[in-house]
Structures are given as structure tokens and as C-alpha cells.
A and B are shown apart, each in its own frame.
Chain A
Amino acid sequence: MTWSDFAYFAVPAVSLWLLAGLLVYVKSARRWSGLLMMGGTLTLFSFILLLWIHLERPPMRTMGETRLWYSFFLSAVGCVTFSRWRYPWLLTFSSVVSAVFVVVNLAKPEIHSKGLTPALQSVWFVPHVTSYILSYAMLGAAAVGAVFLLVQKKGNGRLLGFVDNMVYVGYGFLMLGLLMGSVWAKEAWGHYWSWDLKETWAFTTTSVYLAYIHLRLRCGKASEKVAPWFVVVAFLLLMVTWLGVKYLPSAQGSVHVY
């Protein structure tokens, strides 16, 4: 299976997701939406697996390949968290964003070289990238929850609890990705932390999430009214870390530009 066959998987997956995202607002059809969402997720996952077999390496190297994983994990996280928390917007959000990334891949695949350079051939490669992409998906859901909190203005303890949980789980994956990257960096080029641009931005992002987690430990106005802003800002920083770093003037010489 190659990228030229992507449309045969992409179109069904996107259709299933968008249908799920709509049906969740129709009372009589709501129970089907979870199943449709899962169907779309499995369709995309089968493409990823077939591509993996064809390339004879994990498809995690190019920007296009990481977007595949983001779509997959975001829709999977959407399924799981929807079944746990029953927020319709959560399903719609994850289905629409997953669909957008699949469409971006259809329009601009960004697939370059086929082989992995020696530095990328490591046992840490797959867990490092998957852990990060999973955390992006979780923290994306947290950011949407935080925007709702800020818009609603009146307190919503259940939603705040949801954002807390998403941040904790997302932060766990983020930290694991960072730690594995650090061990890998030590094995590959001799230092566990060298303030490479991507590392610097990851540090900023992690610090803001940590600030949120600590801010929420105590009660009061700061904990309930100000804290959601931290989640939104941290997610914007996270997106710069993932997608925007290569456009910065400070990116010259970074090992993470691809």
C-alpha cells in the first residue's frame, strides 16, 4: 500500500467521522455515532499498517506521516473520552480535526526520502513520536474544554474536572516523550539536553502545563478563572513546538527541522 492509494482509505474515514460528528446531535441516532467514529479510526489505522509494511519502517518520519498518526490518535482519543464523558462537542471536535489533517495529507502529502538516516534508526524512535502525538491529541481536547470554560464564564466543575484529567494524562504522555527523546539524544549524539530549538520550545510548553497543574492544586479565583487560560496558551505553544519551529529565525542548525 503506498501514498497513491491513500484516497481509498481517506475518503471513507473522513465520511464516517463527519457523519459521527453530526449524528451525535440527533437524539435517536446518537448511539451510532460512537461506532461510526470507531469505523473511521480503524479505516485510517489499516492504511497506516499497510503503509508501514510497504515502507519496511514505521511511517513516522515525514511531516505527512506524523499527521497520519495525529488523525488516528485524535479520533481514537475522541472515541474513548466520548464514551467516558459523553460530551457531544468532544466527538465533533476530534472528528473534524482528524478529518482536516487527513484532507491536508491528500492535498499536500510532504513525503520525501524513503530511507531512515542512521541517527533515526533507534528503538526510541517509535515510542518517542507516538507518545508525543498521543499527548497532542489529549491536550487538544483539554484546550477545547478550556475555551468552553472561558466562554461560559460561570463555573462548571464537571468540565473543569475533565480539563484537569486531560491535562494530567496528556502531560504524562508529553513527559514520557520528552524523557525518551532525552535518552535517545544521549545515545545518538552524546547529550541528553542541548537546547536544540525544538527542545527549548518543548521546555516552554511543559513549564506552562506544569504551572497549570500546580495552580489547580489550591482553590480560589486563580485556580478556577485564570487556570483555563494556561491550558489555551500552552496548547498554542505546543502547536508552535510541533508545526511552527522550522519557520523561526532561530531554527538554523536544529536537528528537529523536517
Chain B
Amino acid sequence: MPWSYPQCVAVVAVLVLGGLVAQMLVGPFDFGLLAFPVSLVVLILLLVLCVLLGFHSGSVRVRWVSGVPLSVSLLVGLALLALVMGVVPQTGEPCGVLGLDAVARSWAFVLVYVFVLLSLGTLLVRRLLQFRLCDWAFYANHVGVWLFLVAAGLGTSDEERYEMLVQEGETVWHAEDEKGYVCRLPLAIHLNDFDMDMYPVEKVVADRQIGETRKSSARSSDALRYAQVSTSAEPRTFLSDVELYTEDGDTLKSVLEVNKPLHTGSWMVYQYGYDTQAGRRSSYSVFLLVYDPWSAGIYVGIVLMAIGSVSMLWKGRSRKKGGACDME
């Protein structure tokens, strides 16, 4: 292997620095450019590139691209970028020159991300060409991560989110997108009924000195320090009895609740909100409609990674016999 850690770290550093320079020249990466059908073209190009590289596993360069030192360096690069994201408050509208306030949309992050996909994809092709069933956990973990990262990255620009407000007894085909534009959707919601259930209100004692509340006790007789209060009513559940119509003429009946969305095709429909002033007497319900054509890739990726993770729990680090790394 001609290139080891120093060179790999340098390559990742060049990727990050190159990303920062690109950011200064052209501003943040525009995910809108990747919208379908570009996302599909990028996916095919990526696959072709990985297969071409993977078939040349004799080449030193291909071994380097898909090798351990580069994967470690890329992972450290990703970790450092995410660390910046975790420390610097991230904004909706990037305004910093280097893009540190919107790392997930910065050129540096996108470049490292693409390189990860390339390195991982090439490795997968190489290892699939020498397929061994006993490597099933390796395949589950790596195919899972690759699918998840591809679908999450390319899916960013194809995902659409809408908010829809429906009065009881009405049918609505229009919803507001994230920029506030009203659009007609390929599905409609008819709200039969909105209902909610509250937790019982409790009597508690508030301690003015330390600012905490607790249930009444003998110590709470000091009227200056303690005050009798009621807890505010908190919702236990809120739900909407709806009928969903599609343009094909299908009708789906469902009761939507938080954590219980309705799934139809690439659409998910969520119970999102209600008239908080009116509470359970709210005459309308608000729904969130999410269109994500890439979500199948995400779910397959998640299942594969879960299988791989369970194998790690089960086997720990089982070494191959006669492994050169054993020091004993």
C-alpha cells in the first residue's frame, strides 16, 4: 500500500479545504440542483463509478480508495465536521462565509460525504466479487449504511412537506409548502371529527424559594414561601377521524394520532396540530403531509444496519484464527 495514514489525512484535509474555498467562491451547496431527475442520474453515475473501480481491485489506487486508512480518515473528517455542527448554532439561512453555521449544506460536508459513498461503494463491489456467505454481517452493515447515506443525501431535494388545515366536515385538496405557497396535492383529507384527551389536573405546592413544584406535604404550611397551584392541563392524546382521497379515486378511512401516521405510496400523513386556544373543542385539525420517494431506500438501509448491529452484539469482535494482530 503506497499511501497510508499521513497521505489519507492529507487527502481528507484537501477535501475539506477545497470545500471551504468553493464555499467562499460560490456560496452554500444548492441541494435544489439535485432535484429529480438529476438525483437519479447522480445515483447511476455513482453506481457505475463504484462498479468500474471495484472491478479493478488489482490496482493499487483502487485498493487505496476502498482501504482501511482512507475509511478511518474519512470518518474522522465527518466527525470533525459534525463537531462544528454541534458547537456552532446552525441557522436556517446560511450567512457565514465559510458555511460553519449550516455545515450540512456546506461544500466541505458534501465533498466528504460523496467521497465516503465512493470509497464504501467501491469496497462493496470488491467484496461482493469475492462473495463469502460467512461475511453476511459485513454486507448487512456496509450495504445498509451505503443505502441510507445515498437515499438520505439524494432524497434531501426530492422531499416535500406540506401543512394542511381542515375544518370539521370539510374536504381539502390544498396545502401550504415550506415557503408558504399554497399548492394543490394529489390527495385530499376530509375531517369527520377532532377529539382530544387531557391528563387530570393535579393540586401541587410551588416553592417560591427554589422554584420547584411538588405534591402537598406537611412542610408546605408557610404561606409566604409556598403556594397552592394546579398543574396546567396537558394533552394525553389528540386525534382526527379522517377520510383520505387520492386522485385515482381511492378512499382510505383512518384515525390519525401523534406517532400513528397514515402511509400511502410515497406519502405520509401526520396529525400535526389543532386550535390550542379551543383545546378539545377545536373545530379544525392541522395535518403534516410528507412526500419522500426515497424513503424505501432508507427503510431497507435501516433494517440491514439493524441486522448488522445485532450480529455485533452477538459476536463481539471475533477474530479470524491466526490473525497477525494477536499480540499474545
Determine if chain A interacts with chain B. yes
A interface residues, Cβ below 8 angstroms from B: 113-115, 117-119, 121-122, 155-158, 160-161, 164-165, 167-169, 171-173, 175-176, 179, 182-184, 186-193, 195, 197, 200-201, 203-204, 207-208, 210-211, 214-219, 222-224, 237, 245, 248-250, 252
Nearest neighbor of B259 in chain A, beta-carbon distance: A122
Query: Please, could you name 11 A-B residue pairs with CB atoms under 8 Å apart, sorted by A?
Result: A118-B238, A160-B327, A175-B312, A176-B313, A187-B260, A188-B258, A189-B270, A204-B82, A208-B76, A215-B72, A250-B88
Further 7 A-B residue pairs, CB within 8 A, beyond A201-B86, A216-B317: A114-B202, A158-B328, A164-B316, A168-B317, A182-B302, A207-B78, A211-B75
Given A211-B75, A214-B71, A214-B75, A117 and B313 contact (CB-CB distance below 8 Å): no
Query: What residues of chain B lie closer than 8 Å to A165, measured between beta carbons?
Result: 316-317
Number of interface residues of B (CB under 8 A): 58
Which A residues are CB-close (under 8 A) to B78? 203, 207
Q: Kindly state the separation between the CA atoms of A133 and B69 in the bound complex, as whole angstroms.
A: 31
- Chain B contacts for A121, CB-based, 8 A: 237, 258-259
B236 touches A191 (CB 8 A): no
Q: How far is the CA of A172 from the CA of B311 in the complex (A)?
A: 8
Contact flag A118-B258 (CB < 8 Å), given A164-B317, A179-B309: yes
Q: Which 6 A-B pairs have the closest CB atoms?
A: A157-B327, A172-B312, A118-B258, A172-B313, A207-B79, A211-B75
- B46 interface contact, C-beta 8 A: no
- Closest chain-A Cβ to B101's Cβ sits at a distance in Å of 10
Q: Kindly state whether residue B45 has any CB partner on chain A within 8 Å.
A: no
Q: How far is the CA of A172 from the CA of B90 in the complex (A)?
A: 29
Report whether B152 and A193 are in contact in the complex, using a CB–CB cutoff of 8 Å: yes
On chain B, the residues within 8 Å of A172 by CB distance are 309-313
> Which B residues touch A167, using CB under 8 A?
317
Contact A187 B259, beta carbon cutoff 8 Å? yes
Given A187-B259, A201-B86, A207-B78, residue A219 in contact with residue B325 (CB < 8 A): yes
Name which residue of chain B comes closest to A233, CB basis.
Answer: B79
Q: Please name all residues of chain A whose beta carbon is closer than 8 Å to the beta carbon of B83 when the two chains form the complex.
A: 204, 237
Do A118 and B259 form a contact, CB below 8 Å, given A193-B152, A211-B72?
Answer: yes
Given contacts A118-B237, A200-B82, A223-B325, contact A195 B258 (CB under 8 A): no
**Contact indicator B75/A207 (Cβ below 8 Å):** yes
Would you call B223 an interface residue if the criterion is a C-beta within 8 Å of the partner chain's C-beta atoms?
no
Interface residues in B145-198 by Cβ distance below 8 A to A read: 152, 159, 161
Min CB–CB distance B229 → chain A (angstroms): 14
User: How far does the Cβ of A112 sit from chain B's closest Cβ, in whole Å?
Assistant: 8
B152:A119 contact, CB within 8 angstroms: no
Q: What is the chain A residue whose CB lies nearest that of B77?
A: A207
Contact of B312 among A119, A171, A222, A245 (CB under 8 A): A171
